[in-house]
């Protein structure tokens, strides 16, 4: 009786090692790619959170014919009926800032507001109290507010009426992340039916 040799030949062992080596190289390349790009969703989610927070803050502000400090704010049905302080320009009144002694008090005040963008007076992302959020270094935010009509949505609100604003919040972040959120805000006064 012959004793059959059991086990692997040298050729079989070398072929097995080559196959396993090629498979491991593919697995390691896949893991490496995932590790390199694992921060992408975090940067996008953080930029989205900044944009959502800023947009919500703006949308919650009054949008009235007169400045909220004006004596005729409750009764005015157009800019000319304000006692002294109308809100017909899309910029803050002198001395108003997002946070501080005289804070923004109307949606219009946010037009042109920026944080951490070149040429912007606010050098970093801040919360509504003005506190710097150091974890958000590398992010920028800007706001544009413009008169708008609602077109096919509501043809009764024309551009000339001044009754609607288009708000755009743009946030950029690491890894070429850009998030743009847009919203519309309509005016409400006691004399206006919406």
Residue 96's pLDDT band, with cuts at 50, 70 and 90, is: confident
> Where do the DSSP E strands lie in 25-163?
114-115, 140-147
Percent of the chain with pLDDT over 70: 84
For residue 126, which of 50, 47, 45, 44 has the smallest C-alpha distance? 50
- The better pLDDT of the pair 9, 140 is held by 140
Higher pLDDT, 48 or 150: 48
Q: Which tokens hold the place of 153?
A: 């949505």
Task: Report yes or no: 140 and 171 within 8 Å, Cβ to Cβ.
Answer: yes
**Chain-wide mean pLDDT for the chain?**
83
- pLDDT of res. 190: 47
Provide the H-helix boundaries in 37-105: 40-59
* CA neighbor of 107 nearest in space, from 19, 186, 11, 9: 186
CA-atom Rg of the chain in angstroms: 29
The 10s digit of each residue's pLDDT in 117-134 is 888 888 899 988 889 999
Task: State yes or no: pLDDT of 4 exceeds 90.
Answer: no
pLDDT tier at 65, thresholds 50, 70, 90 = confident
More confident residue, 96 or 181: 181
Q: Tell me the mean pLDDT in the region 174-189.
A: 86
What pLDDT does residue 153 have?
A: 60
Q: At 166, which helix (H) or strand (E)?
A: strand 164-173
Residue 75 has pLDDT above 90, yes or no: no
Task: Count the Cβ atoms, other than its own, within 10 Å of residue 77.
Answer: 12
Asked if pLDDT for residue 24 goes beyond 90, the answer is yes
- What per-residue confidence (pLDDT) applies to 192? 44
| pLDDT of res. 39 | 62
Domain range annotation of the chain: 43-186
Average pLDDT over residues 21-33: 91
Cβ atoms within 10 Å of 147's Cβ, excluding its own = 15
* Sheet strands side by side (includes 140-147): 114-115, 140-147, 164-173, 177-186
**Confidence check: pLDDT of 186 > 70:** yes
pLDDT of residue 187: 76
Half-sphere exposure in the Cβ direction for 64 (13 Å, CA) = 23
Q: Which residues contact 90 (CB under 8 A, 6 or more apart)?
A: 108, 111, 112, 145, 146, 147, 165
* Nearest C-alpha neighbor of 63 from the set 107, 102, 93: 107
Determine what percent of the chain is predicted with pLDDT higher than 90: 34
CA 26 – CA 184 distance, rounded (Å): 49
Q: State pTM to two decimals.
A: 0.72
């Amino acid at each position: 009786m012959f004793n059959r040799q059991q086990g692997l030949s040298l050729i079989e062992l070398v072929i097995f090692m080559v196959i396993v080596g090629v498979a491991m190289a593919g697995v390691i390349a896949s893991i490496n790619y995932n590790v390199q790009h694992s921060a992408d969703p975090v940067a996008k989610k953080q930029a989205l959170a900044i944009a959502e927070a800023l947009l919500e803050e703006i949308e919650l502000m009054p949008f009235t014919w007169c400045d909220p400090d004006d004596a005729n704010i409750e009764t005015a049905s157009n800019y000319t009926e304000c006692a002294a302080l109308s809100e017909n320009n899309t910029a803050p009144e002198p001395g108003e800032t997002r946070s501080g002694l005289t804070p923004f008090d109307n949606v219009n005040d946010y037009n042109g507001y920026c944080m951490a963008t070149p040429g912007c007076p606010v050098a970093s992302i801040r919360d509504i109290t003005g506190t710097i959020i150091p974890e958000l270094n590398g992010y920028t935010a800007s706001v544009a507010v413009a008169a708008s009509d609602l077109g096919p949505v509501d043809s009764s609100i024309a551009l000339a009426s001044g009754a609607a604003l288009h708000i755009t919040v743009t946030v950029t972040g690491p890894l070429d992340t850009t998030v743009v959120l847009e919203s519309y805000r309509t005016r409400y006064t006691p004399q206006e039916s919406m």
